[in-house]
Amino acid sequence: MTQSQFATSFDGARIAYRVYGQGQPSIFLSNGIGCNQAFVGRIIQALATRYRVVIWDYRGHVDSEKPKDPRDLTVDWCIKDMRAVAAAAGLEEIVLCGFSMGVQISLEYFKRHPENVRGFIALLGTYEYPLKSLFYMGRLGEPLVKTVLRLVKLRPSIFQRVWRLGLSGPWTFLAARYFVLNRKAASKSDFDNWRIHLAQFDFQSFLQLAVYLGSHSAEQILPLLNMPCLIVAGEKDNFTPVRVIRKMYEKIAGSEWFSVPEGTHGGLFEFPELINPRVLEFMQKHF
């Protein structure tokens, strides 16, 4: 991973970003909640052979400054931080690209700052209410996470230790292979790269951001995306089920669709040989 640079956000916080490759337009990549580059590293490498890719870190993620209060890690603050990175990195014409949570963030960014956006790539993420589609929980998802958050606020240090313990053993990958990832295609090294980062993450901040995302919808933005758009889905994704992502595709006129038959939420490191060429094809076709 290349060395981070830093933008100064509206409140003085240092927001980290990294730049790969050269070429226009720049691809402005927003990651998933609790993620480092384990999921998106391979697609960054592929895109950087022809384009400039800028990936940035949410507060408390990787090299960005931690939020002073978990309640500050809102969608609104994410967009303000993203705007600071765009200015610091000198981004002009951009293609917004989001993985998982980054799809919602990218859409919200377009809503507020559409002037330089030339395209949109959605990677394994939904456009609204992710806690409803997570493991097909429906209406139970948001109240369940809110209840856990209330409990964590009562004893944050205890729950933080439980969080770290739960993510520290070999059982984590075994469980992920059973419930989340493709058992044959998932790489333990990629997963462990992410798991180690997540284990150090502030559990309360993670839940608080999840609650904010759970009440956020970008549905009203989708008809406004009059530009090249590519929607990528994994047909075995239990985090953002293909039926939910399909709705986004149907609501964006003229968008392109690509699904990975055995892909899960880890599809970017499970099947890079399928996804990376398709995303590059999209970029070369339109830009």
**pLDDT bracket for residue 212 (50, 70, 90):** very high
**pLDDT bracket for residue 271 (50, 70, 90):** very high
Looking at residue 50, its pLDDT comes to: 96
- CA angle 31-257-29, nearest 5°? 20
CATH of the domain at 70: 3.40.50.1820
Task: Please give the Cα distance from 209 to 276 (Å, whole number).
Answer: 29
Task: Please give the Cα distance from 46 to 44 (Å, whole number).
Answer: 5
- Please report which helix (H) or strand (E) contains residue 150, including its range: helix 141-154
* Domain that residue 20 falls in: 5-286
Express each pLDDT in 166-208 by its tens digit: 998 888 998 898 889 999 999 899 999 999 999 999 999 999 9
Over residues 42-62, the mean pLDDT reads 97
Count of domains for the chain: 1
Dihedral (Cα; 286, 46, 41, 245), 10-degree rounding: 40
- For the record, the structure tokens of 284 come out as 């070369």
pTM: 0.96
Over residues 23-35, the mean pLDDT reads 96
Task: Please give the Cα distance from 272 to 186 (Å, whole number).
Answer: 11
- State the chain's mean pLDDT as an integer: 95
- For the record, the structure tokens of 221 come out as 């933005």
